[in-house]
Amino acid sequence: MKSESAPISFEVNGAPASVSAAPMRRLSSILREELGLTGTKIGCDAGDCGACTVLLDDAPVCACLVPLASAEGCSVRTVEGLGGDRLTALQASFLANGAAQCGICTPGMLVAATALLEGNPRPAEDEVRDALAGVLCRCTGYRKIIEAVVEAHRFVSSDSSPEAAAGLVPPPLAPPHRGEGDRFAAAATKRAGDRDWAAVPQNPPPPCGEGLGVGVPAYPMARPAKSALGSFSFPPAGQAVGASPVRLDGVVKVTGADRFGADVFPADALSLLVVRSPHHRAAFSFGDLGAYVRENAGVVAVFTAADIPGVNRFGVIPAFADQPALAEGEARFRGEAVALVACEPWAARELDLGKFPVRWQVLPALLDPSAAQAEGAATLHADREGNILVRGFVERGDPDTALANAPVVVSGAIETSFVEHAYIEPEAGFAAFDGETLTIAACTQSPYMDRDDTAKVLGLARDKVRIVPTATGGGFGSKLDLSVQPLIGLAALKTGRPVALAYSRQESMMSTTKRHPARMQAKLGASTDGTIVGMVFDGEFDTGAYASWGPTVAARVPVHASGPYVTPNYRARSRAVHTNGPIAGAFRGFGVPQATIMQETLYDELAEALGMDRLQLRLKNALRNGDETVSGHRLEAGVGIVACLEALEPHWKRALADAEECNASAGAIRRGVGIATCWYGCGNTALPNPSTIRLGIAPAGKVVLFQGAVDIGQGSNTVIAQIVADALGLPLADIELRSADTATTPDAGKTSASRQTYVTGRAAEKAARDLRDQILSHANVSPAARLHLEGGVLTVWEGEVRRHIDLARMEPDGRGLVFSAEASYDPPTTSLDFKGQGRPYAVYGFGAQIAELDVDLRLGTVGLVKFTAAHDVGKAINPLLATGQIEGGIAQGIGMALMEEYLPGRTENLHDYLIPTIGDVPPIETILVEVPDPEGPFGAKGLGEHVLIPTAPAILNAIRHATGVSVRKLPATPSRILAAIRGESR
Amino acid sequence: MTRYARPKTLDEALALLGEGAWRVVAGATDFYPALGNSPIRDDVLDINAIGELRGIGETETHVVIGARTSWTEVRKADLPPAFDALKQAAREVGSVQIQNVASVAGNLCNASPAADGVPALMVLGAEVELRSLRGTRYLALAEFILGNRRTALRPDEMVTAVRVPRSVTGGRSAFVKLGARRYLVISIAMAAARVTLAGDGMIGTAAVAVGACSAVAQRLRALEAELSGRRPDEIERIVAQMALNELSPIDDVRGSADYRRAAVREIVARAVLAAADDPSRRVAA
CATH code, B137? 3.30.465.10
- A2 with B4: Cβ contact below 8 A: yes
For residue B95, tell me if it sits in a domain.
Answer: yes
For residue B177, tell me if it sits in a domain.
Answer: yes
Both A676 and A705 in a single domain?
no
Q: How many CB pairs under 8 A join A and B?
A: 179
Number of domains forming the structure of chain B: 2
Both A644 and A708 in a single domain?
no
Whole-model pTM: value is: 0.94
For residue B30, tell me if it sits in a domain.
Answer: no
Using the predicted structure, report yes or no on whether residue A157 has a pLDDT greater than 80: no
Beta strands in A682-748 (DSSP E): 691-698, 702-707, 735-739
Last residue of a domain, one of B152, B167, B182: B167
Q: Does B249 touch chain A (CB under 8 A)?
A: no
Both A657 and A711 in a single domain?
no
For residue A198, tell me if it sits in a domain.
Answer: no
Q: How many CB atoms lie within 10 A of CB A919?
A: 18
For residue B21, tell me if it sits in a domain.
Answer: no
Tell me the pLDDT band of A216, cut-offs 50, 70 and 90: very low
**What does DSSP say about strands A669-681 and A844-856: parallel, antiparallel, or unpaired?**
antiparallel
Beta strands in A517-594 (DSSP E): 518-526, 532-544, 570-578
* Per-residue pLDDT tens digits for A88-136: 999 999 999 999 999 999 999 999 999 999 999 999 999 999 999 999 9
Nearest chain A residue to B95 by CA: give it: A134
Both A66 and A127 in a single domain?
yes
For residue A95, tell me if it sits in a domain.
Answer: yes
**What part of B 93-122 touches A (C-beta under 8 Å)?**
94-98, 100-101
d(CA A293, CA A835) in angstroms, rounded, equals 57
Domain range for A100: 1-149
Both A8 and A112 in a single domain?
yes
Last residue of a domain, one of B112, B138, B167: B167
A42, A49, A62, A912, best to mutate vs chain B, most B CBs in 10 Å: A62
Partner residue opposite A62 with nearest CB, options B97, B188, B283: B97
For residue A123, tell me if it sits in a domain.
Answer: yes
Both A140 and A4 in a single domain?
yes
CATH number at residue A892: 3.30.365.10
* Per-residue pLDDT tens digits for A892-923: 999 999 999 999 999 999 999 999 999 999 99
Stretch A442-449: mean pLDDT = 98
Both B241 and B177 in a single domain?
yes
Both A816 and A893 in a single domain?
no
Tell me the pLDDT band of A647, cut-offs 50, 70 and 90: very high
Give the strands of the sheet with A518-526, arranged side by side: A388-396, A570-578, A532-544, A518-526, A408-415
Last residue of a domain, one of A100, A118, A149: A149
- B38 with A352: Cβ contact below 8 A: yes
Amino acid at site A107: P
Q: What average pLDDT does chain A have?
A: 92
Both B148 and B177 in a single domain?
no
Amino acid at site A486: P
Q: How many CB atoms lie within 10 A of CB B130?
A: 21
Residues in CB range of A582: below 8 A, 6 or more apart: A333, A334, A335, A418, A510, A513, A514, A544, A545, A902, A904
**DSSP symbols for A114-158:** HHHHHH-SS--HHHHHHHHTTS--SSS-SHHHHHHHHTGGGGS--
CATH number at residue A108: 3.10.20.30
For residue B94, tell me if it sits in a domain.
Answer: yes
Using the predicted structure, report yes or no on whether residue A223 has a pLDDT greater than 70: no
Using the predicted structure, report yes or no on whether residue A177 has a pLDDT greater than 60: no
Cβ–Cβ < 8 Å for A787, A726: no
d(CA A245, CA A722) in angstroms, rounded, equals 9
Last residue of a domain, one of A784, A806, A825: A825
Residues in CB range of B114: below 8 A, 6 or more apart: B186, B187, B190, B211, B212
d(CA A146, CA A123) in angstroms, rounded, equals 10
Report the pLDDT value the prediction gives residue A523, as an integer from 0 to 100: 98
For residue B137, tell me if it sits in a domain.
Answer: yes
Both A652 and A705 in a single domain?
no
d(CA A808, CA A697) in angstroms, rounded, equals 11
**What part of B 176-215 touches A (C-beta under 8 Å)?**
178, 180-186, 188
Both B157 and B63 in a single domain?
yes
Give percent helix, percent strand, percent coil of chain A, each to the nearest 5.
Answer: 30, 25, 45
- B33 with A67: Cβ contact below 8 A: no
For residue A402, tell me if it sits in a domain.
Answer: no
Which residues of chain B carry a pLDDT beneath 70?
278-285
B174 membership: H or E segment, kind and range: strand B172-178
- A67 with B2: Cβ contact below 8 A: no
Report the pLDDT value the prediction gives residue B277, as an integer from 0 to 100: 79
Report the pLDDT value the prediction gives residue A231, as an integer from 0 to 100: 66
- B95 with A50: Cβ contact below 8 A: yes
DSSP A582: P
Both B233 and B143 in a single domain?
no
* Dihedrals phi, psi of A847, to nearest 5 degrees: -170, 165
Which residues of chain A neighbour B4 with C-beta distances below 8 Å? Answer: 1-2, 5, 22-24, 69
Number of domains forming the structure of chain A: 3
Using the predicted structure, report yes or no on whether residue A172 has a pLDDT greater than 70: no
d(CA A74, CA A712) in angstroms, rounded, equals 36
Going by C-alpha positions, the residue among A847, A868, A821 that lies closest to residue A674 is A868
Nearest chain B residue to A667 by CA: give it: B281
Both A667 and A703 in a single domain?
no
CA A513-A519-A524 angle, to 5 degrees, is 130
Last residue of a domain, one of B167, B193, B221: B167
Residues in CB range of A453: below 8 A, 6 or more apart: A314, A315, A316, A321, A482, A485, A486
For residue A175, tell me if it sits in a domain.
Answer: no
- B38 with A59: Cβ contact below 8 A: no
Both B184 and B229 in a single domain?
yes
Both A858 and A974 in a single domain?
yes
Which residues of chain A neighbour B98 with C-beta distances below 8 Å? Answer: 47, 62, 65, 134
Using the predicted structure, report yes or no on whether residue A565 has a pLDDT greater than 80: yes
Domain range for B96: 51-167
CA dihedral A742, A748, A749, A750 (to 10 degrees): -80
d(CA A679, CA A624) in angstroms, rounded, equals 12
Using the predicted structure, report yes or no on whether residue A500 has a pLDDT greater than 90: yes
| % of residues, chain A, pLDDT over 70 | 92
Both B91 and B69 in a single domain?
yes
- A352 with B3: Cβ contact below 8 A: no
- A859 with B44: Cβ contact below 8 A: no
Q: Does B2 touch chain A (CB under 8 A)?
A: yes
Which residues of chain A neighbour B32 with C-beta distances below 8 Å? Answer: 26, 45-47, 64-65
**What does DSSP say about strands A702-707 and A735-739: parallel, antiparallel, or unpaired?**
parallel
A434 membership: H or E segment, kind and range: strand A428-434
A1, A899, A920, best to mutate vs chain B, most B CBs in 10 Å: A1
* Per-residue pLDDT tens digits for A826-850: 999 999 999 999 999 999 999 999 9
Using the predicted structure, report yes or no on whether residue A204 has a pLDDT greater than 90: no
d(CA A584, CA A586) in angstroms, rounded, equals 7
Going by C-alpha positions, the residue among A983, A964, A848 that lies closest to residue A605 is A964
Which residues of chain B neighbour A901 with C-beta distances below 8 Å? Answer: 253
Nearest chain B residue to A352 by CA: give it: B38
Report the pLDDT value the prediction gives residue A174, as an integer from 0 to 100: 28
Both B157 and B190 in a single domain?
no
For residue B240, tell me if it sits in a domain.
Answer: yes
Both B156 and B84 in a single domain?
yes
Last residue of a domain, one of A149, A175, A196: A149
Cβ–Cβ < 8 Å for A441, A218: no
Report the pLDDT value the prediction gives residue B37, as an integer from 0 to 100: 85
CATH number at residue B194: 3.30.390.50
Stretch A157-178: mean pLDDT = 42
Residues in CB range of B283: below 8 A, 6 or more apart: A668, A669, A856, B270
Provide the phi-psi class of B216: left if phi over 0, else alpha when psi is between -120 and 50, else beta: beta
Both A923 and A840 in a single domain?
yes
Q: Does B236 touch chain A (CB under 8 A)?
A: no
For residue A480, tell me if it sits in a domain.
Answer: no
For residue A728, tell me if it sits in a domain.
Answer: yes
Helix, strand, or coil (residue B35)? helix
Both B162 and B181 in a single domain?
no
* Per-residue pLDDT tens digits for A745-804: 999 999 999 999 999 999 999 999 999 999 999 999 999 999 999 989 999 999 989 999
Using the predicted structure, report yes or no on whether residue A183 has a pLDDT greater than 50: no
Both A625 and A671 in a single domain?
yes
Give the strands of the sheet with A793-798, arranged side by side: A786-790, A793-798, A801-806
Both B176 and B205 in a single domain?
yes
- A912 with B263: Cβ contact below 8 A: no
DSSP A205: P
Both B146 and B63 in a single domain?
yes
> A145: exposed, middle or buried (C-beta count within 10 Å: 0-12, 13-18, 19+)?
buried
Stretch A941-963: mean pLDDT = 98
ipTM above 0.95, yes or no: yes
For residue B2, tell me if it sits in a domain.
Answer: no
- A349 with B4: Cβ contact below 8 A: no
B96 membership: H or E segment, kind and range: helix B96-99
Both B246 and B212 in a single domain?
yes
- B6 with A23: Cβ contact below 8 A: yes
Q: Does B266 touch chain A (CB under 8 A)?
A: yes
Going by C-alpha positions, the residue among A93, A84, A511 that lies closest to residue A327 is A511
Going by C-alpha positions, the residue among B29, B94, B100, B97 that lies closest to residue A113 is B97
- A65 with B100: Cβ contact below 8 A: no
Cα dist. A116→A407, A762, B72 in Å?
60, 44, 14
